[in-house]
Amino acid sequence: MATYPTFLPGLDAPALGHDLTNGEADTLVRSASFATTVGAFIYAEEAPDTILYPELKRFQWREIDAFGLQTGNRYYFDGTAWTLEKPAAGTIDGDSFADGTIPVNKLSGSGAQPFYVIQRNGSNSQWMIVSLASALQDGSAANIKLENADAADYIKFSIAGGVYSDVLFQYIWDLYLEVSNIRYDQIQDSNDTAQAGQILYFAATGGQAAAAFPEVVMRNNQLPTAKLAFPAGSEGKYPRVNAAKTDVEWVAAFATALLKDVQTNGTDGVAVSAGSAQKIRLNTEIDPSGIVVLDTTANTFLLQPGTYDISAVIPVHQSSFAPSATVILRNETAAADIATVTLRATGDMDFIVGTLNHIVTISVASSFSVKVHPQVSGWVGRAVTLGYSETYSQISIRKIG
């Protein structure tokens, strides 16, 4: 009896000329494949990979679920993709379908007339073919299905007995509505274009209302200053945009503070030695706006972030003639000398006054001092003993930004 060539062996055993080794026997079986005229069933959840295994194109894929059970779907490869197998058209009768699964377009139109519809019967037990008028319940038709009105601007309005009739909208407005009776909470944005905080306004004379933010509606140069809100404590100050550029802050109009070294009558200024820079003495603060914090122990003054115009007047006295010295403005927080002024006298002078001017901008609170580095030991001011307070070093600090 002839045997159909179902498989192609993985190895040509007769051509070897010897008994198969274990490895050759394994290759013979493992590498065997179906003949090109033979296919098989593939049970898998996902579509078989015909690119990696081209021979699967002539197989049938039987789909299974995650539990290994067949779903009933059968697929064949149509040359491009796996395609669900379907019976030939016209070979299935009604008994092959489950109840309630036949699409409407498969139903017979026998007994129907144009514009008839399919509707469930009153007991919801079966379908029936009826006229459209019979299918509609009384009072259930949408307005678009109703007979047209005589002209434009008519609306449906229930008259006596609740029967609807066509009535001009203007008639209803004049009869029932007054502008004063329309509450603002009944105004709605039907187009969903307005944003929170916007107001209604008229962009042109005789035009339609539109939505916009108040700052758009407000005309240029029309807002009186009386409409502005001034916070407590803003009197005498001017507005300035804050560092974050999110609001206006109120600052004193170029607030000024004075720091001095004031001693009693007959008391000399602080002594300074040659060879190093030493802080001048400061013991008096005049600061109406509170822009400076004076430390009389450390002889330093603390400034908050901002821009300051600093001017220091420093008297230097030496016992020898022709005094010379350097006056230094130092940022103690940054440990940096930021400004200097050089003093040098000639002839038989033993006294000189130096003026140091500087503008400084700081981004963090910083402590400052003024120092004197004399060429020869001396004093930052000598007493004249005329019955008044002896005032020596003076520093003017003006906050300008």
- pLDDT, one tens digit per residue, over 253-304 is 688 999 999 999 999 999 999 989 999 999 999 999 899 999 999 999 999 9
Burial of 237 (0-12, 13-18, 19+ CB in 10 A): middle
How far apart CA 287 and CA 134 sit, in angstroms, is 96
- 172 or 241, higher pLDDT: 241
Is the residue at 144 inside a domain? Answer: no
Antiparallel, parallel or unpaired: β 237-241 and 248-252 = antiparallel
Average pLDDT, stretch 52-69?
91
pLDDT at position 141 over 80: no
pLDDT at position 388 over 90: yes
How far apart CA 337 and CA 36 sit, in angstroms, is 95
- 161 or 183, higher pLDDT: 161
Query: 391 has which bridge partners?
Result: 262
Is the residue at 240 inside a domain? Answer: no
pLDDT bracket for residue 166 (50, 70, 90): confident
How far apart CA 80 and CA 66 sit, in angstroms, is 26
Q: Single out the residue of 329, 353, 327, 326 nearest to residue 339, CA to CA.
A: 329
How far apart CA 36 and CA 343 sit, in angstroms, is 110
Is the residue at 326 inside a domain? Answer: yes
Antiparallel, parallel or unpaired: β 199-202 and 209-212 = antiparallel
pLDDT bracket for residue 330 (50, 70, 90): very high
Listed residues 42, 66, 84: the one ending a domain: 84
pLDDT bracket for residue 360 (50, 70, 90): very high
What one-character DSSP code corresponds to residue 65? -
Query: Other C-beta atoms within 10 Å of 75: how many?
Result: 18
pLDDT at position 17 over 60: yes
**Structural domain for 11, as ranges:** 7-84
Contacts of 156 (CB under 8 A, 6+ apart): 143, 146, 164, 165, 166, 167
- 355 or 177, higher pLDDT: 355
- Quote the longest CA-to-CA distance of the chain: 148
pLDDT bracket for residue 319 (50, 70, 90): confident
AA letter at 363: S
Listed residues 39, 55, 84: the one ending a domain: 84
Is the residue at 194 inside a domain? Answer: no
pLDDT digits (tens, 9 = 90+) for 299-310: 999 999 999 999
Is the residue at 331 inside a domain? Answer: yes
Domains in the chain, number: 2
Is the residue at 33 inside a domain? Answer: yes
Q: What percentage of the chain has pLDDT greater than the value 90? A: 39
Q: What are phi and psi of 274, to 5 degrees?
A: -70, 150
pLDDT bracket for residue 370 (50, 70, 90): very high
The enclosing domain of 321 has a CATH number of 2.60.120.40
How far apart CA 56 and CA 60 sit, in angstroms, is 8
How far apart CA 298 and CA 373 sit, in angstroms, is 17
How far apart CA 260 and CA 284 sit, in angstroms, is 5
Structure tokens at 308: 């300051």
pLDDT, residue 393, reads 96
User: If DSSP codes are grouped into helix, strand and coil, which group holds residue 216?
Assistant: helix
Is the residue at 165 inside a domain? Answer: no
pLDDT digits (tens, 9 = 90+) for 186-234: 778 878 888 888 888 888 888 888 888 988 888 888 888 888 888 888 8
Is the residue at 163 inside a domain? Answer: no
pLDDT, residue 394, reads 97
Positive or negative, the CA dihedral 31, 34, 39, 40 is negative
pLDDT bracket for residue 378 (50, 70, 90): very high
Listed residues 84, 102, 132: the one ending a domain: 84
